[in-house]
Amino acid sequence: MLNADGEFVNPDAGGGTWQEAWKARAEKASQMSGDDILMAARGAGNVDKREGPESDKSKARRALAGCRTDKLREKAGAGTVGECTARVFGGEYDFMLGVL
């Protein structure tokens, strides 16, 4: 990470080197399916590993990620990407969460 002066600084993210952090990420990704990796990249984290209740913002992120996937959108009967996204932005996301 670069600081305000453009110099590289290692942010304290629980200790360890960047190589160890990337190794841990690669190990985690190796246990995920391609669809899981794509959904995580879109902001839809793994609900099974969450602690505590899921926030409305998290539900909306997962629903929006589903709206960008043709198979999930079709399974939910959500129409086009635009229609699906409009429903989520309107506060309705349970239609998509049911198929995720």
The ranges assigned to domains in the chain are: 18-97
Question: From the centroid of its chain, how far is CA 80?
Answer: 21
- What distances in angstroms separate CA 27 from CA 19, 87, 92, one per listed residue? 12, 36, 35
Average pLDDT score over the chain: 82
Contact 81, 67 (CB under 8 A): yes
Residue 98 pLDDT class (50, 70, 90 cuts) = confident
State the angle between helix axes of 34-41 and 56-67 in degrees (0 to 180), rounded to the nearest 10: 120
Q: What is the pLDDT of residue 89?
A: 94
> Taking the model in full, what pTM does it have?
0.62
**Number of other CB atoms surrounding residue 90 within 10 Å:** 8
Q: What is the pLDDT of residues 7-38, one digit of tens each?
A: 777 666 556 777 888 898 888 888 887 777 77
